[in-house]
């Protein structure tokens, strides 16, 4: 599904597999980046969707993991094998991915386990910029849902697009969620004034007011 001239949805329920969180593809020139990878159950369909978008797998430069949960990361290893991409996550969640912690990653919620996953770039602080062709992706640490939960923004078609994969939570002790951090992160998301929100489970929300209303509904 084409969202802007640079952005496609290529994964998620109805796109790859019912257990997958949404996965989005950002394209700029000969380079592209994938945001989240689903559980792995729908990798073949996700790959086909990438190809249908006119993108060569070898052009996928980055795979950004917005947090460690299995519905966003279970397919990461296979995606890297197929594309040769660099996997990026915040260092606080990279720990649980590299350890293969099936509880904190919620793999156990899906009746499976998390294979240890090497993270190539562990974002150490509150933000980091990633050039992609003529675009710039900004990676922000937004803890609460998980310790290393993060979002990305990019300006596409002169609009601020926010990849806020699990704005809605949930908060759970097993996931090491923190309500105070979560509420602070929601306030930060509002300050970004996004005009398009690409969420992990609620799809694509367009319009600055509608995006703000969605975020505020969880505050």
CATH superfamily of the 7-216 domain? Ribonuclease Z/Hydroxyacylglutathione hydrolase-like (3.60.15.10)
| Domains of the chain, residue spans | 7-216
- Residues whose CB falls within 8 Å of the CB of residue 111, separated by 6 or more in sequence, listed in order: none
pTM across the whole model: 0.97
Rounded CA gap, 115 and 177, in Å? 22
Integer angstrom CA distances of residue 68 from 119, 152, 210: 11, 15, 27
Contact between 130 and 33 (Cβ < 8 Å): yes
- pLDDT (tens place) for every residue of the chain, 219 residues total: 999 999 999 999 999 999 999 999 999 999 999 999 999 999 999 999 999 888 899 999 999 999 999 999 999 999 999 999 999 999 999 999 999 999 999 999 999 999 999 999 999 999 999 999 999 999 999 999 999 999 999 999 999 999 998 999 999 999 999 999 999 999 999 999 999 999 999 999 999 999 999 999 999
């Amino acid at each position: 599904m084409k969202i802007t001239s640079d952005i496609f949805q290529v994964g998620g329920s109805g796109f790859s597999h019912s257990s997958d969180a949404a996965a989005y593809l950002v394209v700029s020139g000969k380079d592209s980046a994938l945001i989240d990878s689903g559980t792995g159950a729908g990798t073949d369909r996700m790959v086909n969707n990438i190809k249908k978008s006119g993108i060569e797998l070898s052009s996928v430069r980055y795979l950004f993991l917005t947090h460690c949960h299995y519905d966003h990361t279970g397919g990461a290893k296979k995606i890297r094998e197929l594309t040769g991409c660099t996997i990026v996550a915040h260092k606080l969640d990279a720990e649980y991915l590299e350890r293969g912690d099936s509880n904190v990653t919620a793999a156990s919620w899906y009746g499976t386990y998390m294979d240890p996953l090497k993270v190539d770039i562990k974002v150490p602080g509150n933000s980091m910029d990633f050039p992609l062709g003529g675009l710039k992706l900004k990676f922000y640490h937004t803890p609460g849902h998980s310790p290393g939960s993060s979002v990305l923004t990019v300006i596409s078609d002169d609009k601020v697009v926010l990849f806020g994969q699990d704005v809605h939570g949930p908060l759970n002790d097993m996931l090491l969620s923190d309500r105070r951090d979560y509420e602070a992160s929601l306030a930060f998301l509002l300050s970004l004034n996004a005009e398009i929100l690409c969420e992990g489970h609620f799809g694509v929300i367009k319009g600055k007011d509608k995006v703000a209303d969605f975020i505020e509904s969880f505050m």
